[in-house]
């Protein structure tokens, strides 16, 4: 059972860790990366103890929105047709 349920909006983005963090009662931080969230992970773990929290978030906010041909619209190049 998780220690708590925490909204992603209540977590802080940590540039150094490249992860969302939330204070753990042990003094360290619960951590979850954007990659974890993209994969549907909802558990943020503390690296210093056995506690973990459930992160509440909208999975669509972190889903890869790649087009079928894997090109972003800004990266597409025009092709001249004769």
CA 9 to each of CA 3, 44, 48, 63, 71: distance values in angstroms, whole numbers, following the listed order = 18, 14, 23, 17, 30
* Cα 33 to Cα 64: distance, rounded to the nearest angstrom: 14
Q: What does the pLDDT read at residue 67?
A: 40
Over residues 22-67, the pLDDT tens digits come to 999 999 999 999 999 999 999 999 999 999 999 999 988 887 765 4
Residue range 66-74: mean pLDDT, rounded = 46
Residues with Cβ within 8 Å of residue 41, at least 6 apart in sequence: 32
Residue range 66-77: mean pLDDT, rounded = 48
Q: What does the pLDDT read at residue 55?
A: 97
SS3 for 45?
strand
């Amino acid at each position: 059972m998780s220690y708590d349920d925490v909204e992603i909006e209540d977590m802080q983005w940590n540039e150094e860790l490249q992860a969302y963090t939330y204070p753990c009662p042990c003094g360290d931080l619960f951590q979850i990366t954007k990659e974890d969230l993209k994969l549907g992970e909802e558990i943020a773990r503390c690296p210093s103890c056995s506690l973990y929290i459930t992160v509440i978030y909208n999975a669509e906010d972190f889903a890869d929105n790649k087009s079928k041909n894997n090109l972003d619209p800004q990266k597409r190049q025009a092709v001249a047709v004769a």
